[in-house]
Amino acid sequence: MEELLKKIPPEKRWEITAKILLTISVLIGSKTMPHVLGKEEGFILPVRGWEKWLEILHKILEDGAGKFYPWVKEKLDIPVKDAIGAAKLETAVAKLWCGPEQENEYPEATPERVILRVTKCAWWERYNVLKLDPELRGGCDTCKVWCEEGLKAVNPKITRKYTKTIQRGDPYCKAIIEFKEE
């Protein structure tokens, strides 16, 4: 097995691993989990409902992002003293978490404000590959919590808000990242 793995280029291994991990994450964060686990094995959703599941999931994401964003910032030495630094950190986190399938761009970038476009969302791609009904997707709300809490953990002067999302039918997700010196 080790010899086989050596034949697969690192970029391809990363892509495969990211897709597997995202598939698991997508299933955990969607209403499909009871169907995957079976009603008897379902752990929260079938017993306590979707709203309680999202509440617990969002708390997990807040805690995780509050640790992961600062770790990536430190390890990659990304200064987050303005909106541009925040956008660079968010892109690094997205690439590490989602793999090469994730694509972001910045049509506008100043130290005070960055428009970040997600032109290819790895989460959305996994949803589509799994053919999950749009009504069953956890999607953009969980992404929102992850990104906002992560950026807040590294610099509380940074804010981030969505103005467009693929899940609502927009051609891309659009977030405005702002730095406010107060």
Average of per-residue pLDDT across 78-82: 96
Residue 2 lies inside a defined structural domain of this protein? no
Q: Taking the model in full, what pTM does it have? A: 0.78
Residue 5 lies inside a defined structural domain of this protein? no
The more confident residue out of 81 and 132 is 81
pLDDT tens sequence across 107-166 = 999 999 999 999 998 888 888 887 777 666 666 777 888 899 999 999 999 999 999 988
CATH number at residue 79: 3.30.1380
Range of the domain at 126: 10-179
- d(CA 112, CA 133) in angstroms, rounded, equals 38
3-class secondary structure, 23: helix
When pLDDT is cut at 50, 70 and 90, the band that residue 8 belongs to is confident
Q: In the chain, how many domains are there?
A: 1
- d(CA 175, CA 61) in angstroms, rounded, equals 18
pLDDT tens sequence across 25-69 = 666 655 555 444 444 444 555 556 667 777 877 888 888 899 999
